[in-house]
Structure 1
Amino acid sequence: MGRTKTENRKIGGHDAKDMKKAVDLVKNGMSIHKAAQECNLKYSTVRRYVKKHDTQNNAGFVPNYEVNAIFSREQEEILKAYISECALMFYGLTAKETRQLAYQLAIANKLKVPSSWLYNQMAGIDWLRSFRKRHSDISLKKPEACSLARATAFNRTNVQLFFNNLKEAFQRYSGFEDGTRVYNLDETSTTTVQKPQKVLAPKRSNVCKVTSGERGVLVTTCCIVSATGHALPPAMIFPRKNFKAHMLHGAPAGTLGLASPTGWMNAELFVEVMNHFIKHSSASKENPALLILDNHESHLSIDALNIAKSSGVTILTVPPHTTTRLQPLDVGLHGPFKTFYNAAVDSWMLRNAGHAFTIYQIAECVGQAYLKAMTPVNIISAFKKCGIFPFDESVFTEEDFLPSVVTDRPDPQIEDNVVPSSPSILLDLEIESPQIPFGALDDSDQLPKFKQPEINANAQEESARPTMTTLEQKRQDSVPRITISPRPSTSRQEKTFITPKKIRLPIKAGPRNTKRRRTLGKSMIVTDTPEKNKIEENKKKIKGLKKVKKSDIFKKKTKKEQKMEKVEIRYCDTSSGDETFCASGSSSGGEIFLNDSEDDDTMILDDEIISKPLPKNPKVGDYVIILIETNKKKKYYYVAKILEESSEAEYDYFVSYLKLKSKVFYKFAEPVEPDMAGVFKNDIKFILPDPNIEGSSRRQATYTFPINLSLLTFPF
C-alpha cells in the first residue's frame, strides 16, 4: 500500500552556540561527559563533533542537511517563480509536469541526481512533497476552466479603451462623477432546477438532493443597479408567447414582466426594458443617466438606442469576454444572488415535498434572493472593484493581465517609443541561450554549450547581454523583477543556472490571422451619433440580404440548377478599415452556400452515370461509391475505402465505410471505431478521385472529393 504522507525526519535539536561552547570546553581540558552535561547535550553527539574538529578546523557545529539537496535555495526560488507565472497565465503545471521540469533542470545544469530520477525521467514524489513543504505558498489546486477568448480578451488595450470612454462620459455631466447617475444592467439565468447546497449526511454514503426535473426551464432576470448602492426593480422574461400577471407573484415591487418563446432577451423586448429603466431612473435631457452594459446584439437595438438618446441616457458597452472583471453585476452581485436563489428554491422544495417547481414559483424565489443580494454594501463594493466608481483606471495590476500575454503581439501602428501592454514577469538571473524542447535533454552528451559569464563583473555582464531595441528595453524596465540575493560564492554556484524558460518552449501564440472576416467587438459609447449610425447602417444591410430556408438548402436540385446556383450570398463592409464586417445566412456567422471559386466544369454524379460499368477494377486504397438497396426498394449510396481484396469466395473486397459529416459541403470522416465490411464487386458503382484531406489527426480529419455528389442520396 502506498504512503499517504512523508515520514518525519529525525533532525538534531541542539543549537550551534551550545555545541561550540561544549567543543571549546573539551579543548580546554574538560571531559566530554562534563561538557555534555553542562551544555545539556548528548555525550555521543558532543564526542562526534569533538573528533570532527580535531581533523577539520572549519567544521560546522550543526548538521548540514542540504549536502544532498539537488537545487540550491536560489535555484528553487527561480523554479518557484516560473511555476507561479505559469499558473497566473492560466497554463499551470501539473504535479507530473513539475517533476519532469525539475529533472530537466537538473540534467541541463549537470547537477547530481538520484538514480531513480534517471530511470523515471522525472523527479521523485518525495522531492515534490519536500519542495511544497519548503515553499508553503505553492499548493496543489483544481483550476477553474476558462475559455481562451475570456483569458486573452482581458488585456491592457481593451481595458484602457473602456476607461478612456468612461472618463469621457464622466466629463459630459457632473452627476456622473459622483456616481448618482451611473447604472449597470445585465441579465442572469434563473431556472426551475436549482444547484443544491451542501448538506450534512453520514459518512460513506451517497447523498442526493431533490430537484423539480433533470433540466430546468429558463426564466431570464434582468438586474439594474446604481453606483450609489440602490437597485432598480428587475425585469423578468418568461418562456411564453403571452405574459400573464400571475407569473410575477412574489417578485420585487415594480418588476417588469415580459414573455418570449425562448425565455431569452431579444431586441424587441429590450426596448421595453429601456423604457422601464428610464421610468425608474427618471432619466431625461435635464437629468441624464449613464448605463453600462455588455455589447450583446439585443442591447444594440436601434429602437432602444433612439429611445435612450432622446431620454438623455448615455450607453457605454464593455469589451466582449471581460464582463467578469469590468461589469459590477458579474463581479460581485450575480454570485450572491444565485446562492440566495438556490437556497430559496431548496426551501420551497422542502415546504412542498412531492410537488414540482415551475416557472410560476420563480418570481417568489427571485423576490427573496433579490433583496438579500442587492444590498448597498455589495453594490458599492462591486462598482469599486471594477474601478468604475470611484473612478480608478489603475485598479488592475500586471498580474491581472498575465493570461493575455500569450496573444500579445506588437502593434504595427505603435511606435517604438511606446511600451506594449501586459508584459510577463522576467527573472534577473536569466541568460540568453537557445530553446530546448521538453524531453530533449535525456543524454548529457546532447547538452548545448552555454555562456558562463562571471557573476560579480558588472561591465562584463552588460557586454554579454544581447542588444535589444528601445521597445524591448522599455518593456523590461516597466516590469517588476524578482530580485534574489546570492549566497556566498561556492564551486556549486559558480556556473550560471539554466532557467526553466530556457528549457521549456515559450507560452506564446503564433502570428496573427490577417484574414479576419468580422470586426472584433470593443468598448464604445453606442448612443453617440457616429457609433449609432454605423450600427444602424450595418443592420439595414444585413436585413436586406436574401434569406434562405433551411429546407431549401437540402432540397434536391437538377443538374442545371446546380450550375446556376453556385453563388455565395454574402455581404462584406470594408469601410471600417483593414478588418471587414461580414454577414452571412448562418446564425453562427459561417458559410452555408457554395463558394464562387468552385469550377463550373466539376463533374456531377447522378443515377445515370452511376449505372454505367466501371472502367477498371478497384484496387486497395481507392475510395469508391457503394450502392445498397433496402427491402423497401430504396437506394442509398455510401463512400468507402478499399482495405484489401478478399480471398474468400463470399466477398470480393473488404472496405471501411466513411461517415457523412456535412450534407452541405459533402465532407466525410473515418469512423470513431475502425470497422471492416465485405462487399461484392457489383456493389461498387464508381471509383472516386483522390480526396482533399483537412485536419491533422485521424479522428478530426475530413475528406472532400473534387466531384459533385449532391444528386446522390446519402444517409446522414
Structure 2
Amino acid sequence: MSKQVGVQYSPTKMGLAIEAVRSKAMSKRKAAMTFGVPRSTLLDKLSGRVPEARTRPGPATVLSAAEEDVLVNYIKLMASIGYPVSREELLNEVKKIIDVDGRKTPFKNNKPEKDWFYAFKNRHPDLSERFAMTLGHQRAFVNMAMIESWYSNLFKYLRDEINGYENMIQDPRRIFNADESGFPLCYKSGKVLAQTGARHVYNVTSSNKQQITVMVCFNAFGDFFPPLIVYPGERFRDIGLSSFPEAIYGHTSNGWMDSELFVTFLEEFSNYVDQKKITKPVILFVDGHSTHMSRSAAEFCAANGIILYCLLPNATHILQPCDVGFFSPMKASWKRHLKNWQMENIGEILTKKDFPKVFKAAWDAVTSFELAVRGFRRSGLFPLDPSGIDKTKLEPSKLANPVTMALDRDQVPAQALVPDNAKAPVQASKQAHAPSQAPEKDPVPIQMYCSETDDKSEKFCFEQWCEKRAEESLQFTIGHIVLTMELTILSFIRSF
C-alpha cells in the first residue's frame, strides 16, 4: 500500500482562498480550484477545526512561535552590539521563562538540553553558532561620525598640503598599507578524528610559544612589497634565509618591531617604489603604534616622497586593508602549510630555521591581486570613500554614551606624521626637514598634527575621553537591554 503524500500548497494562496469564500466572491469548491489549494484543508480552516496559520509538523513546541521569535530577536540584538548569547545562556534564559510561567515541560528542572537546542536551531536557520572575535573596549565605541571625521581630516590635509593629490588618490599604485602580525611556530588544532571512547587524544607540537613577527605591505593595485621577517636576537644565525631570498630580514632583541627597524623598512620600501617606477609622493597608511611614530621615520618620509598617515585609533579592524582582507586568509594558509610540514616531518618541530621555507609557501598561496583590491575596497581606502566600509562593524557603538555618539567631528585630529619642528605638514617631495640638533639619545618627540589647541596639555585624547564616557554607562546600558528583553518575553508569555 502506497504512502499517502499531502498536497503542497502556498500559505498565501490559501489565505486568498479563505478571503474569497468569506467575502462571498467564490464558492468553496471554486476557490479551491482557482487558487490550487486542497478543498478539504480549506473546509477545515474555514470551520475552525485547524488554525488558519500553517503549523509545523510534529509535536507542539514548549515555547510558542511568538515566544521563540522574541528569543531570536534578542539573540540577534545581543550579537550585533558585541555581547553574543552562548548556548548555555540561551538555555538558562528559557528556564527563566518556564520558571515564571509555571507550565509543564519534559525538561529536568525546567532547563532544556542539547536536543531542544538543536531543534530550536533547525526551526530558525537564520541563527548559527559562531566563534566570536574579541573586540577591545575602545574599538567597540568607534562610530560612523568618528570614521567620517577621519576621512574629512584626511581630505583636508591632502587638499591643503599635497599638490596634485587628486591624481594620487585615484592611482591605486600610490596607495599603500603596512602592518605587522605574529605567526606562531606551533598552532592550536581544532576537532580531530580519533577512536570512539579514547581517553586521551594528543597533538604533538613544539612547547615553544614563540611567534615570528612579519611586516606586510601592499598597495591597492595588488603589488605586494616583500615581507619583512623579524627574528629575536642580537645577530643573525643560520636561520634559513636562502629558503625565501625575496624577503627582507631584520632582528631586534625581543623579535618585535621597533622604531629603528621600522626606518629600515621605510628605506627598503622607498627603494621598492623607485624600482617599480611608481610616481611619488605615495601615501602609506599605518596604525598609530609608537614604533611607527619616531622622529627619524617622519624625517625620512618627508625627504623621500612618502606620506606616512595614521589610521583612526582603535579602528584598524574597519579601516586597515591588512586587517580587513589579508591577515585572516594569510594565517589560515600559514596554519595549513605548517600542518602539512609537520605531517611530512613526523617527530620534528618547526624551528626558526625552517620558518622562511614554510612561510614562503603560505605567502605565495595567498598574495593575489584580488585579495589586495578587495581589502582596500572593503576598508574604504580605494576608492577613498567612507561609504565603502563594512558598517555592520559599527553595531557595538549603539551601546555608547550619548555624549560619545555626539562627538564633534572637528575633534578627531588629522593624523599625518611630520617632524614636530615643522609649523604644518608639508608635501614630502617639496621640503626635506633638517635633523634636529638635539642629542640622539634624547630625540625630540613626534607630535600628531592637529590644529585644535596650542596648549599641549589640553590636546584632545581620543582614547581616554572615549573610555571615560563609555565606562560610566556601559553596565547600566547592558543591564537595561537585557531587562527590557526579558520583560518583553514575559509579556508574550502572559498573553497566551
What range describes the TM-score normalised by the shorter chain of this pair? 0.5 to 0.7
- What are the ranges of 5 or more consecutive residues in structure 1 without an aligned counterpart? 1-11, 21-38, 419-519, 546-571, 582-716
Report 1:298-313 matches (<5 A).
Answer: 298-313=291-306
* Residue 282 (str. 1) matches residue 274 (str. 2): yes
Q: Distance in 2 between matches of 1:132 and 1:321?
A: 34
Secondary structure at the aligned position of 2:309 is classed as strand
Residues 1:270 and 1:368: Cα distance change in structure 2 (over 3 Å): same
Residue identity matched to 1:90:
G
Map of 2:150 onto structure 1: 162
* Residue 233 (str. 1) matches residue 204 (str. 2): no
Post-superposition offset of 1:161 = 3.1
Map of 1:328 onto structure 2: 321
Secondary structure at the aligned position of 2:417 is classed as coil
Map of 2:73 onto structure 1: 81
Report 1:253-652 matches (<5 A).
Answer: 253=246, 255-282=247-274, 287-396=280-389, 399-411=392-404, 524-527=415-418, 529=422, 574-576=457-459
Q: Distance in 2 between matches of 1:234 and 1:125?
A: 47
Map of 1:144 onto structure 2: 132
Post-superposition offset of 1:221 = 1.3
* Residue 135 (str. 1) matches residue 18 (str. 2): no
Residue identity matched to 2:79:
A
* Residue 90 (str. 1) matches residue 79 (str. 2): no
Q: Distance in 1 between matches of 2:239 and 2:114?
A: 62
Deviation string, structure 1 residues 369-407 (Cα, Å, up to 9, x no partner): 222211111111111111211233113465331212223
Assess if the C-alpha contact under 8 Å between 1:184 and 1:327 holds in 2: yes
Deviation string, structure 1 residues 15-68 (Cα, Å, up to 9, x no partner): 999xx9xxxxxxxxxxxxxxxxxx998xxxx9xx99xx9xxx973253676998
Q: Distance in 2 between matches of 1:577 and 1:359?
A: 43
Assess if the C-alpha contact under 8 Å between 2:319 and 2:389 holds in 1: no
C-alpha RMSD over aligned residues? 4.8
Post-superposition offset of 1:296 = 0.7
- Structure 1 residues 399-408 or 259-268, which shifts more? 399-408
Map of 1:180 onto structure 2: 173
Q: Distance in 2 between matches of 1:376 and 1:269?
A: 28
Q: Report the TM-score, using the length of structure 1 for normalisation.
A: 0.47
Residues 1:103 and 1:117: Cα distance change in structure 2 (over 3 Å): farther
Assess if the C-alpha contact under 8 Å between 2:150 and 2:412 holds in 1: no
Assess if the C-alpha contact under 8 Å between 1:291 and 1:313 holds in 2: yes
Residue identity matched to 1:159:
I
Map of 1:448 onto structure 2: none
Q: Report the TM-score, using the length of structure 2 for normalisation.
A: 0.66
Post-superposition offset of 1:229 = 0.5
Q: 1:219 aligns with which of 212, 224, 247?
A: 212
Residues 1:408 and 1:401: Cα distance change in structure 2 (over 3 Å): farther
Q: Distance in 1 between matches of 2:223 and 2:148?
A: 27
Residues 1:95 and 1:216: Cα distance change in structure 2 (over 3 Å): closer
Residue identity matched to 1:158:
M
Which has the larger Rg? Answer: 1
Post-superposition offset of 1:94 = 3.7
Bigger proportion of residues as helix: 2
Map of 2:241 onto structure 1: 248
Post-superposition offset of 1:224 = 1.1
Q: Distance in 1 between matches of 2:201 and 2:413?
A: 46
Q: Distance in 2 between matches of 1:401 and 1:68?
A: 39
Post-superposition offset of 1:158 = 3.3
Residues 1:531 and 1:84: Cα distance change in structure 2 (over 3 Å): farther
Q: Distance in 2 between matches of 1:262 and 1:530?
A: 36
* Residue 114 (str. 1) matches residue 106 (str. 2): no
Assess if the C-alpha contact under 8 Å between 2:318 and 2:389 holds in 1: no
Map of 2:26 onto structure 1: none
Post-superposition offset of 1:409 = 2.6
Deviation string, structure 1 residues 683-713 (Cα, Å, up to 9, x no partner): xxxxxxxxxxxxxxxxxxxxxxxxxxxxxxx
Secondary structure at the aligned position of 1:394 is classed as helix
Q: Distance in 1 between matches of 2:98 and 2:132?
A: 31
Residues 1:363 and 1:523: Cα distance change in structure 2 (over 3 Å): farther
Residues 1:87 and 1:176: Cα distance change in structure 2 (over 3 Å): same
Q: Distance in 2 between matches of 1:119 and 1:365?
A: 52
Secondary structure at the aligned position of 2:173 is classed as coil
Q: Distance in 2 between matches of 1:106 and 1:164?
A: 52
* Residue 189 (str. 1) matches residue 178 (str. 2): no
Assess if the C-alpha contact under 8 Å between 2:138 and 2:463 holds in 1: no
Assess if the C-alpha contact under 8 Å between 1:183 and 1:291 holds in 2: yes
Q: Distance in 1 between matches of 2:384 and 2:462?
A: 32
Residues 1:530 and 1:144: Cα distance change in structure 2 (over 3 Å): farther
Q: Distance in 1 between matches of 2:294 and 2:232?
A: 21
Residue identity matched to 2:459:
S
Q: Distance in 1 between matches of 2:262 and 2:8?
A: 75
- What are the ranges of 5 or more consecutive residues in structure 2 without an aligned counterpart? 19-37, 427-434, 445-454, 465-496
Aligned residues: 401
Q: Distance in 1 between matches of 2:305 and 2:236?
A: 29
Secondary structure at the aligned position of 2:47 is classed as coil
Residue identity matched to 2:137:
A
Post-superposition offset of 1:125 = 8.2
Residues 1:197 and 1:371: Cα distance change in structure 2 (over 3 Å): farther
Secondary structure at the aligned position of 2:172 is classed as coil
Q: Distance in 2 between matches of 1:373 and 1:136?
A: 32
Residue identity matched to 1:144:
A
Q: Which has the higher contact order (CA 8 A, sep 6+)?
A: 2
Deviation string, structure 1 residues 319-339 (Cα, Å, up to 9, x no partner): 333322321112222222223
Secondary structure at the aligned position of 1:574 is classed as helix
Residue identity matched to 1:524:
Q
Deviation string, structure 1 residues 513-543 (Cα, Å, up to 9, x no partner): xxxxxxx99771223846889xx99x99x96
